[in-house]
Amino acid sequence: MSESVRIVACPTCRTEVRWEPQSRYRPFCSERCRLIDLGQWASENYRVPAEEENPPGEPPQSPH
């Protein structure tokens, strides 16, 4: 085996990326593509707690 370099596709733009130490942002082709992917993940995650602001249910009754 003379060739040990793996080629992967950038998840963001599908550019071929060489899987080697020099490819700092692998599996992404660049820092920009990595930030785009992380940004999408973060914004999607942000919506979850916002929906739970008003939990459904009856207000607690105070005993008389």
Which residues define the annotated binding site?
Answer: 10, 13, 29, 33
When the beta carbons of 38 and 54 are compared against Zn ion, the nearer one is 38
By CB under 5 A, the residues from 20 to 39 that bind Zn ion are: 29, 33
How far is the C-alpha of 44 from the C-alpha of 50, rounded, in Å? 11
What are the start-end ranges of the H helices in the chain? 31-51
Contact 13, 29 (CB under 8 A): yes
Binding-site residues for Zn(2+), in ranges, read 10, 13, 29, 33
Residue 6 has φ and ψ, to the nearest 5°, of -90, 145
Q: Shortest approach of Zn ion to residue 26 CB, angstroms?
A: 10
Return residues touching Zn ion (CB under 5 A). 10, 12-13, 15, 29, 33
